[in-house]
Amino acid sequence: MWKAILSPDFFGTILRATTPILFATLASCVASKSGITNMALEGILLFSALFGVIFSSITHSWLLGLIITVVIGGLIGLILAFFVLNLKTDEILAAIAINLTATGGTVLLLLAFSGDRGVSSSIRSVSAPSLTIPLIDKIPFIGQVLSGQNILTWLSLVAVIVMHLFLYKTPLGLSIRAVGENKNAAESVGISSRRIQYIALVISGCLAAFGGFFLSGGYMNMFTKDMSSGRGFIALAAASMGGNTPIGGLLVSLLFGLASALANVMQLMSVMPYEIILMVPYLTTLIGLGVYYYAQKKKKERLSGK
Amino acid sequence: MENQVVLEMKHIMKIYGNGVVANEDVSLDLRKGEIHALLGENGAGKSTLMKVLFGIEQPDQGEIVLKGTPVTIKSPQDAISKGIGMVHQHFMLVPSLSVADNIILGVAPKKGIFIDTAKAVDAAQSIAREYNFDINVNDKVEEIPVGIKQKVEILKALYRGAEILILDEPTAVLTPQETEELFVQLLKLREKGHTIIFISHKLDEIKKICDRATIMRNGRSMGTYEVKDITTQEMSRLMVGHEVSLTFDKNEQHLTDNIFMRVRNLTVHNSQGVLKVDDLSFDLKGGEVLGIAGVEGNGQTELIDTLTGLNKKYHGTVQVMGKDIANASIDDIRSMEVAHIPEDRMASGCASTLSIKENLFTNQYKNEKYSSGLMLKGKAMDQRSDELIKEYLIKCKSRRQHVGMLSGGNIQKVIVAREFSTNPKIIIANQPTRGIDVGAAAFIRKRLLEFRDAGCAVILVSADLTEIFSLSDRLAVMYKGKFAGFFTDVANVSEDELGEHMLGIKKDERLEGVLYE
């Protein structure tokens, strides 16, 4: 088993499993920084997974499919923003509504579009290609891990850097952080907090859509019902544990990616019943949150000298 | 140039949705280079008038004329672009950002798509230097003291090109020394041709630095006066409608023999682990008011939270009537006849969406008089509520009105009525009159003294030095969790001396009279 775990292949699996969670984590970061918890990520992932399949098959192009999917992801973010900011709906309730709509809606849309029930087996979708970057694939081990990863996996790593620069180095990023931390302060200098939160939620929706597209057009090559399987919620936990920063989010996402990859390897080894192994990512989330917040509590207590 | 009018507000009328007439035919004119006081009790319409000027509210009637041209101010952003800046009473700063980031927020200098950080720091520094503000612009706002935060707020407005600066009760949170420093800076701003609107109800401050004063009462302007031509008594009369005595004649003190509260070596850390109360000891007897002065954040909150049982994590001992409270619940402590008027009346003083009646009984719902164990006794409660509303002069439609609908002063009266209605032996009052009108404040202070005369022990934490001076029998100054000064002869303490202790410039090592043993 150890030989399988320490192989470059295994690390490649971690990266693949991390990609959708990482996109969703970044999506959660930007929403949280603006002061809103985007709990609709799960639904956006699921919708995007379906739309990715549908639109890449219509356009015969993964890139066009991706672009349309990301635009729709942004639109769902916009809808959430409209409910929360204009209609003053509770942000959790609005998100639950979107998530439930996604669960039922994707199955319905799939059936209407292709006649498929639950699995898009008759749709000829186009997946995103893998990418090998010349010099990097020559590096021993790391080259093997990275080489041939899906272009979206590469993109997710680039997105971490872009989001970091965006949040900490641009005027809009500064405004987002200011609104999230003290809305009144931002308003007092003429920043419209509503506009900023709209922007943040649309960006959040777009980022999550990348993750959703990857699920059905990279990680797998088809849509199956409920294929987001909680990754949107895991991402909320990951973003929170990463302090809602892109870099922190990357590190915690990798941890969850590792858990998913381990589950995959253990399935192959059949050391345990399949059903128990499937729980690994969720147990990791639960244990991770417990350990993280316990450590935070201890840290505070240590500081207070008790 | 002299006496050039920069801004006029003419016949402003503002009626809120709930039918409250906040401003009725109010006019105000501002001259270039003057400090103009806007004076009035809470609820007199000062804030509404300033909200209209700053574009937060739109007037129902009347017009605003800026440098000779009528304008409409649609939003704060609009006001800022027209050269009007506002420093709010509650600071509008983002704690985790640096001073420079707060100053440039919303108008950040850019290099490509990124913020030009070097230029931002430069700009913040040069504006601070231009106005002689001694500030390190790289400090994080959460780490700087209140006085500096206020300077950052002023710089924020100046950076945006404010020529007219609205300061909403700027001295409320400052020590006498910080206030002094602020005044020097305001005078410099005046020299440079800025116009300052100074909202306050501290008459002596207005006397000191303002050129003219517009006095408001009940939504109307009572006229604009040259400050040098009007006495403080006249101002107070115009503001309140009748003369209010600002000092109290205290009756002779009758101390009890036994000690009501005994605190020894009390040490408290806050939830972030910062030392807030540092090895504090004191005694309290019946029949006295122990005043605790100090700049906010020097451990007063933590001290009071510990004495009232809200905070259970501390070292040292606290005894109430000879009993240690380490293992006593808040309920237990209250049943030792301790009453608590909390610092933040909305957050921990009342339940704003419940009725006055329900709020009046939140500390007594277990009392047999009002509860049969399973059900509350509605009639007894109704009757007692009406009595209390009458006794405490609570202005309301009926006992069924939601507390949140009342004015600040009346909310505070509901809380005070509830706390005093149990006839406590110890009253712990934290900022009991903050932000409420002069009439209600005087009422509450008088009540506190009545309890003192009746043999009750009172701990009074207050940022209002006049209040501290006029009520306290003994006076402690808190600085960084310790008593930096302790006075048993309150009448002979000067405000300056108190200020030096509040800032930690002067510290008494021997605190005479803190303990009775």
For each of the domains in chain B, give its residue range(s) and CATH number, in order of start: 5-240 (3.40.50.300), 259-502 (3.40.50.300)
pLDDT score for A215: 96
Q: How confident is the model at residue B19 (pLDDT cuts 50, 70, 90)?
A: low
Would you say residue B245 has pLDDT above 60? no
pLDDT score for B1: 45
User: By percentage, how much of chain B surpasses pLDDT 90?
Assistant: 54
Secondary structure element (H or E) that encloses residue B214, with its range = strand B212-217
The DSSP 8-state label assigned to residue B57 in this structure reads S
Q: Are residues B432 and B460 in contact, defined by beta-carbon separation less than 8 angstroms? A: yes
Would you say residue B18 has pLDDT above 70? no
Digit-coded pLDDT (tens) for B96-137:
999 999 999 988 888 888 999 899 999 999 999 988 888 899
CA distance B107 to chain A (A): 8
B113–A170 CB contact, under 8 Å = yes
User: What is the average per-residue pLDDT within B178-206?
Assistant: 89
Q: Using alpha carbons, select from B347, B339, B293, B302 the residue that is nearest to residue B462.
A: B293
Determine contact: B110 vs chain A, CB below 8 A.
yes
Burial of B435 (0-12, 13-18, 19+ CB in 10 A): middle
Q: Are residues B370 and B458 in contact, defined by beta-carbon separation less than 8 angstroms? A: no
pLDDT score for B243: 53
CA-CA-CA-CA dihedral for B489, B493, B499, B501, to nearest 10:
-40
Determine contact: B187 vs chain A, CB below 8 A.
no
Q: Using alpha carbons, select from A82, A62, A85, A64 the residue that is nearest to residue A74.
A: A82
pLDDT score for B289: 95
pLDDT score for A306: 45
Digit-coded pLDDT (tens) for B446-482:
999 999 999 999 999 998 788 888 899 999 999 889 9
Judged by CB atoms within 8 Å, which residues 24-83 of A form the interface with B? Answer: none
B95–A182 CB contact, under 8 Å = yes
Q: Are residues B504 and B480 in contact, defined by beta-carbon separation less than 8 angstroms? A: yes
Judged by CB atoms within 8 Å, which residues 134-173 of A form the interface with B? Answer: 165, 169-171
A174–B156 CB contact, under 8 Å = no
Determine contact: B13 vs chain A, CB below 8 A.
no
Would you say residue B268 has pLDDT above 90? yes
Angle at A127 between CA A125 and CA A128, to 5 degrees: 150
Judged by CB atoms within 8 Å, which residues 173-212 of A form the interface with B? Answer: 174-175, 177-178, 181-182, 184-191
B313–A178 CB contact, under 8 Å = no
pLDDT score for A303: 63
* Strand B61-66 with B35-40, pairing: unpaired
Assign 3-class secondary structure to A195-257: HHHHHHHHHHHHHHHHHHHHHHHHHCCCCECCCCCCHHHHHHHHHHHCCCCHHHHHHHHHHHH
Q: Domain A2-128+135-303, what fold?
A: ABC transporter involved in vitamin B12 uptake, BtuC (1.10.3470)
Q: Which value does ipTM take for this structure?
A: 0.80
The structure tokens listed for A225 are: 């019902």
Would you say residue B244 has pLDDT above 60? no
Q: How confident is the model at residue B241 (pLDDT cuts 50, 70, 90)?
A: low
Torsion angles phi and psi, residue B377, rounded to 5: -95, 95
Sheet bearing B259-269, strands edge to edge:
B275-285, B259-269, B315-320, B323-324
Average pLDDT, chain B: 88
Q: How confident is the model at residue B17 (pLDDT cuts 50, 70, 90)?
A: low
Judged by CB atoms within 8 Å, which residues 116-135 of B form the interface with A? Answer: 117
Residues forming beta bridges with residue B374, ordered by sequence position: none
Query: Which of B92, B269, B273 has the CB atom closest to A188's CB atom?
Result: B92
- 3-state SS, residue A270: coil
CA distance B81 to chain A (A): 10
A300–B272 CB contact, under 8 Å = yes
Q: How confident is the model at residue B265 (pLDDT cuts 50, 70, 90)?
A: very high
CA distance A140 to chain B (A): 36
Sorted by sequence, the CB contacts under 8 Å of residue B190 that are 6+ apart come out as: B33, B34, B35, B196
pLDDT tens for the 306 residues of chain A, in order: 667 677 888 899 999 999 999 999 999 999 999 999 999 999 999 999 999 999 999 999 999 999 999 999 999 999 999 999 999 999 999 999 999 999 999 999 999 999 999 899 899 899 999 988 888 778 888 888 888 899 999 999 999 999 999 999 999 999 999 999 999 889 888 888 999 999 999 999 999 999 999 999 999 999 999 999 999 999 999 999 999 999 999 999 999 999 888 888 887 777 778 788 888 888 888 998 898 888 888 877 776 554
Determine contact: B101 vs chain A, CB below 8 A.
yes
Domain ranges of chain A: 2-128+135-303
User: Which chain B residue shows the shortest CA-CA distance from A196?
Assistant: B106
Burial of A71 (0-12, 13-18, 19+ CB in 10 A): middle
